[in-house]
Every structure is written in structure tokens, then in C-alpha cells.
Amino acid sequence: MKPIAKYILLSCTALVAANAMAQELNSAYFTKDYKFRHDMNPAFGNDNGYFAMPILGNLNAGVRGNLNVDAFIFDNPLGNGYSKTTFMNPEIPVDKALAGFNKGKNILLEDLNLTVLSLGFKAFGGYNTMSVNVKERAGLSLPYDLFAFMKNVGNKTYQFDDMALRAQAYGEVAFGHSRNIGDKLRIGAKVKIAVGAGYGNIDLKDVKVDMTNTDQWTVSGNAKGELSVGGLELKSERKDYEAKSGSYDYVNDADFDSFKLSGFGFLFDLGAIYKVTDDITVSAAITDLGTIRWDNTHLLQTAVESFTFNGFQNVSVNEDRDDNTLEKQLDRYGDDLADFAHLKDMGDQGARSVGVGATARLGVEYTLPTYKALSFGALGTRRFNGPMSWTEGRVSANYAPFNWLDGGVNFAASTFTTSVGWVLNIHPKAINIYVGMDHLVGKTSKQFVPLTSNANLSLGMSITW
């Protein structure tokens, strides 16, 4: 396993390259026969029962954020047998190298939700759902000044904070029920039993970097991390430093002994739908309320108040093909960041209860009174997750020309970008197939990796009755 602090940098490209983010398909919130609307609002039911094909029933891929892969990767001006290099290459001018980074926070999010099994049916006076899901939520937030410091090594002082990395992976078994209360109100709720595989959190605050000479800096600040992964063994390396630090052991590697579950908790979804008139409907929901209790949580924190750092300069631009690969360049930067964070393992601190990041939605839909097949909707979404929080507003036109076909198009503006989405839902007798996007895929690399951090594709197939 690579040094764990490498994730602070490597996640910038790895989360994009993995292309494995999956959030609920907001474009389908107002699509009447989209079977998984209950994931966004548990008050939604369906006209018929369904069984989602294992794994294939609800597949998603995409990314979200304002930290783009093309901010890191450039055409190599020297060649050297390689077409690509990083923004750290000294042949890339500073202004050009930093142009792709946001002047404030640079955020990249992954929100994997893989539906293993899902079932919906009418019974007990309402609509019921049962599902088994695998979820992973990860987020990275880095300030612009960190990249400026890495690239522009002039004799000056840098000060920045709000550097954060979050990650949780868990499985859940969910049970939902929704029902009508009178003629106008419908309510719903879900209970989710969560079983945790791993949790990690790193924060760097009030970081100050002072230049001492042409190749060394004195770094001060507060760094703190928490890590709970069953079967994970942290490894440390002793290193000698100047300034006030002397020598100490910092975490630079980790090994798995044997995998074991490390968390358990309960999460809840609550939702309601209210029919104001025959043509106007409002809805609201909040999902993933609750916490997971993580056992055997290791505390990681700064070992000293300040230390001398001489990294971010080992950029290879020579003709040595074996030493100048893009992978090795990123690997060296990761080693430098492991040193820059200088986290020390303070030992097992016992259990820690952590939220997974709740999501709130508020929707309004207007159906044309003279043509019921067409409606217009507005959906507001807010994710609550500390420095990785985000907000999105989406307006849509929804069309159901036949009783076996519906879908729509929409426009969204969010914390990170503006985008266009769409959904097509085909549901003849006994089968339901859907495909949609919240964010159209823009320019991609030759390996079809999106060069921006906002793109997704959702599709699935269910058996219905």
C-alpha cells in the first residue's frame, strides 16, 4: 500500500481517473415511474412492484467538484518520450501552471452508491422497499495557495488553512415504507443498518510556510487525523529535522493484516409529499441522518510545532525515461506531502461516532392543467458534510407521452458548475430500463477519463409486476 498521506495529492487525480462516483440521479426526481425515486425521497412510491437486477439494476459513474484533472496534467514541452507531465514541471510557466486551480477551495468529491439488490412492492397499506447497498464517500478540499507554494518557490511567506480529506466506506441494508395520509399528504421513512469497512479524516489548519533559503522552508501549523480500518497496521519512519523539531516518527505507510469490519450504526431517511392543488405538488426530504460508530480509531496529529521542509523540488525533466514517468512524478509529490503533513500515530483512541453527510431536498412540480403529460419542476439539493458541503438548484421539463415512456431534460447550477441533464425511462409491461445524466460528459482524455470534475452516467434495469 502506498503511504497514506499520498492520498492528499494522489486523490486529486485518482478520484477522477477512477470515474466511480455515483450519487442519486437528481434528473429523475420528477420522473414518475423511475423506480429509485425513493432513494431521494422515501415518500415516493411506485405504481407497481419491481425487482432490480443484481448489480445491474442501478449503475452510476461520474465525478463532482471544481478540482479538474486537466489542472494537474499538461502536454510535456520537452518530450523525453512522454507526452504528458505535471503542473510542477519547471518548463511550465507559473501563470499557466496555476490557471486551472480555483482561487478559493479546490474540491473533489466521490460518492459511490452501488445497489446490490433492491425490491419494491405494495403491502401494509402503502409502498415498501428493501435494498442492499455498498457506499463509499470521499472528499478532498485543498486551498489555492498550496498549489502556489508547490509551484512558485520564491522567497516569501505562504499561509493557508482548510486542507481536508474525508473518506468512509460502508454497506447498508435499508427498509422503507411510504403511505398516504388523507387525500393530499404522503409520508415516508427508511431505516438503514450500516456496517462500516473504513473511515479516515485528515485536517490541516493554520499552516504557515517561511522561506529560509533557496531550498528549505520552515513549516508550522496544526494537522490532525483519524483513521479506523479493520486489520490496518500503520507504519512509521524516523526522520531528523532542523528548526525546533529534532527527530520524530511520522506515518508514511500502512499494511493490511486481514480485513475486518470496523463500524456499525443506524441511518434514517424522512420525506413528505403534499399536493397543494391538482396541478401543484411540493415535496421535501432529508436522507442519511445518523452516525456510524467506528471502533479502534487511531489518532494522527502533528508531532512538533515547526520543522524544516525541503520537498516539492525533485521534479525530473531529464532524458531518463525510467525516472520521468508521470506515475513516478506523482509518486514523488505524494512522498513530499507525507513529509509535509508530518503526522504521528498517537495510538488507538477507542470508538468514534461520525455522520456520513446528510442530504436535504426540496421540490416543487407544476403539471400543465390542459396537458397532463407535461410538467415543470424545480429541485433544490443541499449536502451537509463540513468543508465538502455543496448546494445545487435544478429546473426541469418532464414529459410522459405514453404510459410506457417518460423522461425529461433539465438545467442545474451548483456550488461547482452549471450543467445540463436528462433522463429516459422505458417501462413496458414486465420490465423497466432507464438511462440518464445529471452532468453531460465534456472533454475526455484518450482513456475516456473526464477532464473536468462534473460528469456522470446512470443506467439500470428492473423486472416489474
Taking alpha carbons only, the member of 80, 69, 90, 70 closest to residue 313 is 90
Give residue-wise pLDDT tens across range 68-123: 878 888 887 776 556 677 788 888 888 898 998 988 889 988 777 888 999 999 99
Least confident of 3-17, 202-216, 305-319, 413-427: 3-17
Give the per-residue pLDDT at 136: 85
Looking at residue 367, its pLDDT comes to: 97
The per-residue pLDDT for 9 is: 40
- Give the range among 149-153, 295-299, 424-428 with minimum mean pLDDT: 149-153
Per residue in 119-135, pLDDT (tens digit) is 999 999 999 999 999 88
DSSP E strands in 230-342: the ranges are 232-240, 247-256, 263-275, 280-294, 298-302, 306-309
Most confident of 155-164, 316-325, 346-355, 358-367: 358-367
Q: What's the CA gap between 398 and 27, in Å, rounded?
A: 10
pLDDT of residue 414: 94
Dihedral-angle region of residue 290 (phi above 0 means left; psi in -120 to 50 means alpha; beta otherwise): left
Residue 99: which residues within 8 A CB-CB, separation 6 or more?
A: none
On the question of pLDDT at 335 being above 70, the answer is: no
Task: Name the more confident of 14 and 320.
Answer: 320
Distance, in Å, from the CA atom of 30 to the CA atom of 26, rounded to the nearest integer, reads 9
* Alpha-carbon span 423 to 414, nearest angstrom: 19
In 177-245, alpha helices (H): none
- Per the DSSP assignment, residues forming a β-bridge with 199 are 168, 228
Q: What is the pLDDT of residue 18?
A: 39
Task: Tell me the three state secondary structure of residue 231.
Answer: coil
pLDDT bin (cut points 50, 70, 90) of residue 314 is low
Mean pLDDT, residues 367-374: 96
Is 253's pLDDT higher than 70?
Answer: no
Residue 52: φ, ψ to 5°: -75, 135
- Residue whose grid cell is 455498498: 134
Return mean pLDDT, the chain: 82
On the question of pLDDT at 243 being above 60, the answer is: no
pLDDT value of position 327: 62
Instruction: Give the residue-averaged pLDDT of 31-40.
Output: 95
C-alpha triplet 402, 406, 409: angle, nearest 5°: 135
**Which grid coordinates belong to 247?**
527527530
Q: In the prediction, which pLDDT does 81 show?
A: 57
Q: Name the most confidently modeled range: 223-227, 423-427, 454-458.
A: 423-427
Tens digit of pLDDT for each residue in 166-200?
889 999 999 999 999 999 999 999 999 999 988 98
More confident residue, 18 or 174: 174
Q: Is the pLDDT of residue 1 over 60?
A: no
pLDDT band per the 50, 70, 90 thresholds, residue 23:
low
